[in-house]
């Protein structure tokens, strides 16, 4: 499944090399350890050594869309991910992030964005995009969606289904903007739409807010209102993982089935306990005063019961 691609997993050797001294540090290391169901993915958003004001505004707006599952670095980082990715891998271990967005600006590649993801704290995919046109959140005067809203992702264009680089870019964008995994979403919560269009070698990113209008029936009429940010992007360089490594990133460990545990339709957990056959004749019960044996009564008299009234009078 694509949802598992690029998930940041801590190697067991790294965990074994660090012995926790307190219970708090032990819980922290266990939270970083590989899991069958991984936590939500977080993203690092950072600047390069040379940046422009446009790149700074783009990074801030994308951070606003990604919050709270994002870390924004305000200081500049003098690094070139396509030449040396060790600094990205270091920050990935430090913040436990499996996604990154790197912005830079140079004469050769003006207004440059690098979108990527990591697997096992090593770079898996990187795609370089150039910004040709940008409209920020503040430029478009409209009411915005609340922070942490899970967006609906729409993709248009044949390139997303035919071209290998655009396919990987689609997978990367889904990983970056999908948000946390949820079991159900209410209708009023479907208010943020991110639309990506591939046309003539360019990628157009638009952000909308869905408005529910009265339609005269039970189903509301939906209108889209642009809220920003708006980006016109062009594809530049790519660094894609090999097929074997990409397949390894998809692999999930087999779940160990727990015996004698079941769940009902409502999710209630039941456990079955196996016990040996119990001898009820040796079961100790509560002793009552009326059931005690008296010392002066004979065993035969107790079995026959008390004598009749006439017999007692005659004697």
**pLDDT tens digits, one per residue of 103-128:** 999 999 999 999 999 988 888 999 99
pLDDT at 307 over 90: no
Cis peptide before 68 (omega within 30 of 0): yes
- Taking the complete model, does pTM exceed 0.85, yes or no? no
Evaluate whether residue 62 is within a structural domain: yes
Structural domain tally of the chain?
Answer: 1
Q: Give the residue numbers spanning the domain of 158.
A: 40-179+189-249
Residue 201 maps to a domain:
yes
What whole-number distance in Å separates Cα of residue 177 and Cα of residue 3? 11
* Average of per-residue pLDDT across 288-306: 60
- Per the domain annotation, does 23 fall within a domain? no
**Does 226 sit behind a cis peptide bond, omega within 30 degrees of 0 on the bond before it?**
no
Domain with 58 in it: what CATH number?
A: 3.40.50.10480
Question: Nearest to residue 64, comparing CAs of 305, 229, 237, 246?
Answer: 229
The Cα–Cα gap between 42 and 92 comes to 10
pLDDT, residue 112, reads: 94
Residue 195 lies in a domain: yes
Is residue 135 within 8 A of residue 233, CB to CB? The reply is: no
Burial class (CB in 10 A: 0-12, 13-18, 19+), 146: exposed
Crossing angle for the helix pair 53-66 and 164-177, nearest 10 degrees? 60
The fraction of the chain above a pLDDT of 70, given in percent, is: 85
Residue 305 lies in a domain: no
pLDDT in tens, 29-83: 877 776 766 777 889 999 988 999 999 999 999 999 998 889 999 888 888 899 8
- The residue among 98 and 35 whose pLDDT is bigger is 98
């Amino acid at each position: 499944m694509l949802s598992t691609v690029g998930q940041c997993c801590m190697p067991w050797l790294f965990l074994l090399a660090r012995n926790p001294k307190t219970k708090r540090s032990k819980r922290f290391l266990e939270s970083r350890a590989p899991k069958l169901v991984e936590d939500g993915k977080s993203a690092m958003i950072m600047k390069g050594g040379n940046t422009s004001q446009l790149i700074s505004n783009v990074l801030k707006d994308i951070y606003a869309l990604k919050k709270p599952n994002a870390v924004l670095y305000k200081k500049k980082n003098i690094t070139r991910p396509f030449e040396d990715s060790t600094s990205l891998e270091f920050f990935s271990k430090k913040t436990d992030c499996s996604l990154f967005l790197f912005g830079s600006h140079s004469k050769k590649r003006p207004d440059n964005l690098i979108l990527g993801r990591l697997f096992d704290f090593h770079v898996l995919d990187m795609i370089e995009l150039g910004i040709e046109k940008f409209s920020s959140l503040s430029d478009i005067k409209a009411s915005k969606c609340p922070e942490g809203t899970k967006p609906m992702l729409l993709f248009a264009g044949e390139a997303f289904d035919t071209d290998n680089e655009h396919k990987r870019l689609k997978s990367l964008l889904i990983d970056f903007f999908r948000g946390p995994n949820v079991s159900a979403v209410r209708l009023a919560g479907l208010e943020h739409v991110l639309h990506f269009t591939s046309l003539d070698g360019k990628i157009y990113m638009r952000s909308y807010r869905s408005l529910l209008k009265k339609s005269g029936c039970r189903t509301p009429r939906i209108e889209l209102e642009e809220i920003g940010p708006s980006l016109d992007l062009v594809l530049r360089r790519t660094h894609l993982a090999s097929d074997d490594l990409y397949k390894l990133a998809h692999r999930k460990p087999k779940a160990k089935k727990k015996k004698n545990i079941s769940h009902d339709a409502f999710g209630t957990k039941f456990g079955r306990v196996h016990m040996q056959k119990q001898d009820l004749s040796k079961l100790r019960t509560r002793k009552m005063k009326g059931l005690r044996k008296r010392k002066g009564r004979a065993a035969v008299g107790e079995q026959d019961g008390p004598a009749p009234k006439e017999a007692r009078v005659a004697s």
